[in-house]
Amino acid sequence: MIAIVNYDTGNIRSVTNALARVGCTEWIYTDDKALLTQADKVILPGVGEASTAMAKLAERGLDTFIPTLTQPVLGICVGTQLMCQSSEEGDVECMGIFRTKVKKFQNMQLSADGTAEGLPIEKIPHMGWNQITNLRTPLFKDIDEGAYIYYVHSYYPVLCPDTIATSHYINDFSGALGRDNFFGTQFHPEKSGAIGAQIIKNFLEL
């Protein structure tokens, strides 16, 4: 059984549709700690603002509970950011599972002497298809270096020892993170076509 964490944030339909596409039809949407403990896998989706999302986790006591889970756990987008140490979005402390911080993209190019800002170099949010490289862990089994996946975000996890995939937009950042039984994708595998489906399938087979 797959448990999707209910904390009133996240596009649940897109996640459940993605599960169905890889043949998984047994899932529950819950904030019950006993059910989350019993689940074979846990998914923490996320859409919205990090500090609000953390507050919703804390209301349910899930902010301290989720890090104690021992089965494979997958965060998606904001769900991944909440598994980091902190986020600049709302200046909030997060769960601290991954040893990195979440920062906002800065789209102004400094002048050569660093004294003045120039023109915007990229649009924010980072939205659309981008590549993932430096792939590690079984989450990326049968995924080619440079595969394209789908992003929608203005904040990013900084590169760190837990980085298991890298992307570049304005600067290099963690496209995915992994530590012990915890995994997170800053991109949306549920919106990333056949590549995303393979990543979800790989997670379900961990």
- Residue tagged active-site, from 26, 59, 77, 88: 77
188 catalytic residue (yes or no): yes
3-state secondary structure of 55: helix
153 catalytic residue (yes or no): no
* CATH label of the domain that carries residue 188: 3.40.50.880
Helix axes 193-204, 12-21, angle to 10 degrees: 80
3-state secondary structure of 128: strand
- Residue tagged active-site, from 49, 94, 188, 205: 188
168 catalytic residue (yes or no): no
76 Cβ contact list (under 8 Å, min separation 6): 10, 15, 43, 44, 45, 46, 184, 185, 188, 189, 190
- Residue tagged active-site, from 59, 117, 190, 205: 190
Q: Which domain holds residue 189?
A: 2-204
Q: What pLDDT score was predicted for residue 10?
A: 75
Into how many domains does the chain fold?
1
Averaged pLDDT, groups of 10, the chain, 206 residues long? 93 93 96 98 94 97 98 98 98 98 82 55 90 98 98 98 97 97 98 98 98
